Structure 1
Amino acid sequence: MQKTRRLAAVLAALPLAGVTAAGAEGEGPQITVYNQDFALVRQVRRLHLKEGDNELRIGGLTALLEPDSVVLRDLQDTRGLRVLEQRYAGDTLSQGFLLRQHEGKVLSFQTVNPATGRKEVVSGRVIRSGYAPQGSAATGGTTPIIEVDGKLQFSLPGEPLFDGPGPDALLQPLLLWNLWSDRAGERDFELSFITGGLGWRATYNAVTSEKSARFDLVGWISLINNSGGEFKDARVKLMAGEVNRTQPLQARALMLESAVAEVPPRPPQVTEKALDEYHLYTLPRPVTLLNGENLQVEFCRGSDLPAERLYVYDGSQMNVYTGWGPEMARTRPDFGTESNTRVASMLEFTNGKASGPGIPLPRGTMRVYRADADGTREFIGESALGHTAADEKVRLYLGNAFDLVGERRQTNYRIDATKQSAEESFEIRVRNHKSEPVDVRVVEHLYRWSTWKIVDSSDPYEKTDAKTIEFRVKVPSGGEKLVAYHVRYSW
């Protein structure tokens, strides 16, 4: 407690260094936001220093700043400044902080009498505040303990009432610096630090037409600021990819080069470039990020993009065989025979440079809408989209088709232990209750062993990976399609 008071007194005695942009008037900070809920912030500060030792406190920070990531750099003379000592004060004025200050003391609490509806004041001694200070080992705090009329209760009896804050009240996070300068005067410095609480995600809205699968696409970037700080006129870049960080988070300042986007004749768009093993997206204009705010910016758009509507029947239900070993998979006749009846509805397209959008798409959620005959748009499903490079194929799961039903059953299984082989046969039926014929892709997993051969099949198939085949069949309206095959495994 005494340590907190001493630090507050020191902070109150020091000048608060303001923020002045170097270069263009009103230029804001530069922020690189990672899709792992942290960001690198770079600000230019104009500081008035004297020759020798200087003590300053710096505001305009975040509540989730990582102190050991702070880098202070003189923009003109890298050797003219040294940070002799740095302290981060992030435990700002709050109810929990003041309760902790009153532990062991009697405090007034305001309550509402449920019978009369009138406000009343009761007194209670704060035995334990339950507040975990910023940066302490306890992250979530504990339950407060208050003594009222000789009885302990594990909750606040009402709204605590405090006296007015003194001059040493910490209203915003501060950096307390002891700096050495080789000369006196006004100098521009770059301050950079890593902070938690800043993140971003991509969302996509695709609208398909009534009679075809071609679609219009709009991609949005959502910036989320829960850092406890605010950024005015910030130049923002977004990093897509998984940047390695140690656990627990060990901060390090990542100094990234600036990217200058060309200004096209139409409204500026989000630009993208590769950076090492990641992709960096630059917003075209400065944005203001308020604490607790969720801001959306459009970053890609495409019209009349080619796509294909797919129906996929993947009938095997392999999740029920968890824990089965290779020997059981080869020798147990019932392995892999459990099935489901669901036929998946999917949308498939190529992220082509010629057809569009043709840029690396960061992972996110894609929502798909379909235009109805009366012109209204109806939501028909959504799917997770992984990081997708240009010219890669995308297959989106939208849901299960209502009017399509699948059926899968094993018709034969025989094992020959002397020849170390097994043979198996399946029949798959897909029934179509729609008013028009549909194309269905029937997927089969050859899960028993890695060495296999299709001995006989009713329809042509395509090998999609080492243990998967796919039949592409047409199912007539009001009818069904039978697919049968016979496979031989050897080991």
Structure 2
Amino acid sequence: MKRLVTAMILLMTPLVPALAQADNALRLVVQQNGQSLVSEERELPLPKGRGQVVLPDLPETIEAQTMQVRSQSAPNALKVLDLALDAEPLTQAALLRRHVGKSVDLVLPDGKTRDGRTQKQATVLSAKEPPVFLVDGRVYAGPVEAVIYPELPTGLSARPGLVMNVENTGAARQTIELCYLARELSWTMDYMLVMDGDGDRAQLSGWVTLNNRSGRDFKNAKVELLAGETRDNSRPVLARAYASAAKLDGAEAYDDADGGEVFEHHLYRLKRPVTLFNQQSRQTKLFESANIPLTRKLIGRASAMPSGRETDPIKQKLDVVLSFRNTEALGLGLPLPSGTLRAFQEDGRARRMVGETRLDRVAVGSMAELRLGRAFDLNVERIANAYEKTGKNSYRGAWELRIFNAKKHSQRIVLQEQLPGKWKIESASSKWTKPSAGVAEFVLDVPPTRDGKPVVVTYAFSTEL
């Protein structure tokens, strides 16, 4: 069957006269998981006594059960008796379903010429795919070029509309506040770390990308970003976020990106209102730091327990790890939400990308660690020299670690040998420390080994599991 193309003749009759609407204030509390709290103010004409009010232009992804309505002009004069959300989307399937047993007009091939068409009156018998019609007293389930509907059924619209039954003893025009949750309105975090030529210092900037797939435009919205791991049932957290933000007036609220803590989460405020159209992504800067000092390490982590089947040397790569401390004295001091970090290095006028990694959230005062890949010119060969079982649950092993450095200058590396159970280093050719219960760590300054002769570290251990 050819693709069904639906042509609609819509005779629209509103429930109430058209409402003059103006968005006076719009606030979004956006989560990274795509669920957001929307708060907006609208000036609306209201009926005297009991009547109906229609609120159009709501997001397609609204969660109707979360809607809260109150009058800011006269909170005690307006009572909302009930709410009805006409939320069934306007689609071909919905139109056919609403017209089962009713008459429509079909545009059909005329069967005489290749491009000929004819229009027939028909009754919809079934809305399932493919649809079935009664045409000229006969059942028809063939190709349909278009369906022409006589009217738009009540409750179908391109976007949801809210119908309120209210009782109003106040003014005929009031400022109404709406507060509700909507889905598919989210944000992501991206960081840019630009290092100097030596890689000792860097400029860190944070950019927020807002994504709107909610089915509605948001114009000049004040935006707060809620960061942290929330459960799906996060309405209490969003409600507290809105209550916290509402205590600040417009100028004060947007002076600083850090909006403070909400429950066990953090709130960030964008400094300027944002216009975000439906199906649009918009990027805006959250912060930019001063030059921060970086620490670079080359780290190798490996299990010290041999398998007993090692015959050839084991190749071990070294991770390149950059770290910095998140403090105000270094130009930061803002809780950093999780996001994607891209690192660049500048050399004169040239800027080159050197790695990309995921930055987990970093509290104020904490260290951030960035694993940006593997070292190219440094590697380790691991040779198991001994492995034996010395008791029911006790073992002994020995390793020879051969370190190669193809660079022109000496490099500091950190080798972390992971040891299980109650272990002891029996002998070692280099100094070692115990940074944690299951790790023996060697910190080595490795000179260039371009002559092919590696730096060798040996050690033996015993352990009881």
TM-score (norm. length: structure 2): 0.81
* One-letter amino acid of the counterpart of residue 371, structure 2: Y
Distance across 1 between alignment mates of 2:268 and 2:149: 49
Match of 1:348 among 323, 327, 333: 323
- The AA in structure 1 aligned to 2:130 is I
Counterpart CA distance in 2 for 1:260 and 1:444 is 55
**Could you say which residue in structure 2 is the equivalent of 1:366?**
341
Counterpart among 289, 292, 309 of residue 279 in structure 2: 292
Residue 210 (structure 1) aligned to one of 184, 189, 197 = 197
1:468 partner letter: V
Q: 1:470 to 1:194 in 2, by over 3 A?
A: same
Report the Cα distance in structure 2 between the residues aligned to 1:314 and 1:65, rounded to whole angstroms: 49
One-letter identity of the residue aligned with 1:481: V
1:85 is aligned to 2:60: no
**Cα offset for 1:274?**
1.9
CA distance in 1, matches of 2:81, 2:11: 20
Following superposition, the deviation at residue 386 of structure 1 comes to 0.9
Deviation of residue 399 (structure 1)?
1.5
Query: 1:64-97 deviations in whole A, cap 9, x for unaligned?
Result: 0001100112225544333222111223334454
Q: State the shift of 1:119 in Å.
A: 7.3
1:233 to 220, 234, 237: 220
- Inter-CA distance 188–120: structure 2 relative to 1 (3 Å threshold): same
Counterpart of 1:442 (choices 407, 415, 428) is 415
Q: Please state whether the residue corresponding to 1:60 is helix, strand or coil.
A: coil
SS at 2:33 equivalent: coil
1:390 and 2:364 matched: yes
* Among 379, 386, 398, the residue aligned to 1:425: 398
CA shift, 1:29, in A, is: 0.5
1:454 is matched with 425
Question: Could you list the per-position Cα deviations for residues 464-486 of structure 1 after superposition, in whole angstroms to 9, with x for gaps in the alignment?
Answer: 33222332212222253323322
Q: Which secondary structure state, in structure 2, belongs to the residue aligned with residue 29 of structure 1?
A: strand
Query: What CA distance in whole angstroms lies between the structure 2 residues aligned with 1:316 and 1:119?
Result: 74
What are the ranges of 5 or more consecutive residues in structure 2 without an aligned counterpart?
A: 1-9, 134-138
Match of 1:40 in 2: 37
Please give the per-residue CA displacement for 1:222-248, whole angstroms capped at 9, x wherever unaligned.
11111111111101100111222349x
Looking at CA atoms only, which structure, 1 or 2, has the larger radius of gyration?
Answer: 2
CA distance in 2, matches of 1:234, 1:99: 38
Deviation at 1:122, TM superposition (A): 9.4
Shift of 1:158: 8.9
- 1:38 partner letter: Q
Cα 1:485–1:256, aligned 2, differ >3 Å: closer, same or farther?
Answer: farther
1:306: which partner in 2? Answer: 293
Deviations 1:398-449 (CA, angstroms, capped at 9, x unpaired): 112222222223222232326x432222222221222322221212211x32
- 8 Å CA contact 2:30–2:223 kept in 1: the answer is yes
Count how many residue pairs are aligned between Structure 1 and Structure 2: 436
Cα separation, partners in 2 of 1:31 and 1:472, compared to 1, 3 Å: same
Report the Cα distance in structure 1 between the residues aligned to 2:49 and 2:313, rounded to whole angstroms: 78
Query: Compared with structure 1, are the counterparts of its residues 486 and 171 closer, same or farther at alpha carbon in structure 2 (3 Å cutoff)?
Result: same
Name the aligned partner's letter for residue 482 of structure 1: V
Residue 453 to residue 160, structure 1, CA distance change in 2 (3 Å): farther
1:488 equivalent to 2:459? Answer no
Please list the CA deviations of residues 361-396 of structure 1 after superposition, one character each: whole Å capped at 9, or x if unmatched: 0000000011235x2111111110111101211111
* In structure 2, C-alpha distance between the alignment counterparts of 1:211 and 1:284, rounded to whole Å: 34
Task: Report the AA paired with residue 392 of structure 1.
Answer: S
- Identify if the C-alpha distance between structure 1 residues 162 and 384 changes in structure 2 by more than 3 Å, giving closer, same or farther: farther
Contact 2:380 2:402 in 1 (8 A): yes
The change in CA–CA distance for 1:184 and 1:358 in structure 2 (over 3 A counts) is closer
| C-alpha distance 171-346 of structure 1, shift in aligned 2 (>3 A) | same
Q: Following TM superposition, by how much is the alpha carbon of 1:285 offset from its aligned partner in structure 2, in angstroms? A: 1.4
State yes or no: 1:52 paired with 2:49: yes
Structure showing the higher strand proportion among its residues: 2
Is the 1:28–1:232 contact (alpha carbons within 8 Å) kept by the matching residues of 2? Answer: no
Name the counterpart of 1:145: 130
CA-CA distance at 1:293 after TM superposition: 0.8
Contact 1:20 1:45 (8 Å CA) reproduced: yes
How many Å separate the matches in 1 of 2:413 and 2:325?
19
Contact kept, 8 Å, 1:193 with 1:253, in 2: the verdict is no
**CA 1:391–1:261: 2 relative to 1, 3 Å:** farther
Separation in 2, partners of 1:352, 1:60? 44
Cα distance between partner residues in 1 of 2:203 and 2:382: 36
Q: Distance in 2 between matches of 1:376 and 1:405?
A: 28
User: What amino acid is aligned across from residue 182 of structure 1 in structure 2?
Assistant: T
Post-superposition shift, 1:250? 11
